[in-house]
Every structure is written in C-alpha cells, then in structure tokens.
Amino acid sequence: MTTVTNPSDDFPAPPRLGLDCPDGWHPLPDAGQALAIIKDVPDGEFRPNVIVAVRRMRRGTAMAAARRELQQRAASLREYASIGEEERVVGGWPGYRTEGSFIDEPGGTLVQAIRLAVVDRGATEDLVQVSATCHATQAEAVWQQIRDIQESLTIGVDG
C-alpha cells in the first residue's frame, strides 16, 4: 500500500496568487474564492469587484472548457454585448481575455472583464480565472483601474 499526499508531484499545491489592491479597495476574505477585492462605494451602490478563482482540471482541457463555459454563459445573459476578446498572456501564463456588458435584473447594466490563465502542473492544469464586475454607470470611473488590477495578477508555482 502507498500513501497519497497533497501537496505532492501528483497533487501539486495550488498556485501562489497576488493582485494589487489600490487605495479605495479592500480585501474580501469571506468571498469563498482564492482572492477577492471590492471597491469602497456609498451604501446602496453596486460594489465593483475583482475575484480570482482557481480550478484544477485535466491536462489539455482547461482553456477550451473555460472558453466554452464563458460562451454558454454569455448566450444566457440578457442583451449580452461583447466589448472585446483576445488570446494573451495572463499572470505570466498562456491566457485569454474577454469583456462585455449585460442586463442584470434588478441591478441594471453590468460590465464584466474576465481573464483566464492556464497553469501547467505536469499531470494536470490549474485554470485561474480573474473576473471583474462593475455597474455601467461606474465604468468610466473604474474600468481602467479594473484592467490595471487584472494586469497586476501574479501566479507562482512551487517546484
């Protein structure tokens, strides 16, 4: 009999993640995700947010599966409008960026930016997803800041 451990070569530790948290934003550790920050806004306003999630996936499947899920989700959103998309490096790893807007009941129009990175872990891959959302009325004031926060993402691995 053998013992299986985590972390190990078969089950590597999750990647180390980092994001810049500008003045006027603060960590949201109880969001249930790897990292989350929100912008300070007056009570009653939508809180712009950036959330980082990590999902372990079968080698060679992460990017295709994630892009398929994003396309399916966009198709299900009310009046989804694409702002742009591209393949690009995210956090130092092969990745993808998409941005769009949609109507969310009862909140109104939201704008969302999503970046995906695929981290090669040998036998598996880690999909790192950075999702950022703000209300359309806030976009002019915070959109560049959201992009800068996403651009600041660092992803490190041991081994």
Domain-embedded: residue 2: no
Query: 96: closest CA among 81, 113, 115?
Result: 115
Separation in Å, CA 138 to CA 30, 32, 112, 135: 24, 25, 12, 5
pLDDT of residue 159: 63
Do the domain assignments include residue 104?
A: yes
Q: How far apart are CA 18 and CA 114, in angstroms?
A: 16
**In this predicted structure, which of 76-80, 87-91, 106-110, 132-136 has the lowest mean pLDDT?**
106-110
Determine, yes or no, domain membership for 1.
no
Please state, for a pLDDT cut of 70, what percent of the chain lies above it: 99
Q: Is 30 within the bounds of a domain?
A: yes
Q: Is residue 83 part of a domain?
A: yes
Residue 57 lies inside a defined structural domain of this protein: yes
CATH number of the domain encompassing residue 67: 3.40.1000.10
What total number of domains does the chain contain? 1
The 10s digit of each residue's pLDDT in 17-73 is: 999 999 999 999 999 999 999 999 999 999 999 999 999 999 999 999 999 999 999
Predicted confidence at residue 123, as pLDDT, reads 84
Strand (E) positions, the chain?
16-18, 25-27, 35-39, 49-58, 78-90, 93-104, 108-120, 124-135, 154-156
Range of the domain at 112: 16-156
CB 25 within 8 A of CB 13: no
Dist CA 125 CA 95 (whole Å): 13
Does 10 score more than 90 pLDDT?
no
Residue 67: its pLDDT value, please? 95
Query: Quick check: is 34 in a domain?
Result: yes
Helices marked H in 16-99? 62-76
Amino acid of residue 12? P
Q: What is the mean pLDDT of the chain?
A: 95
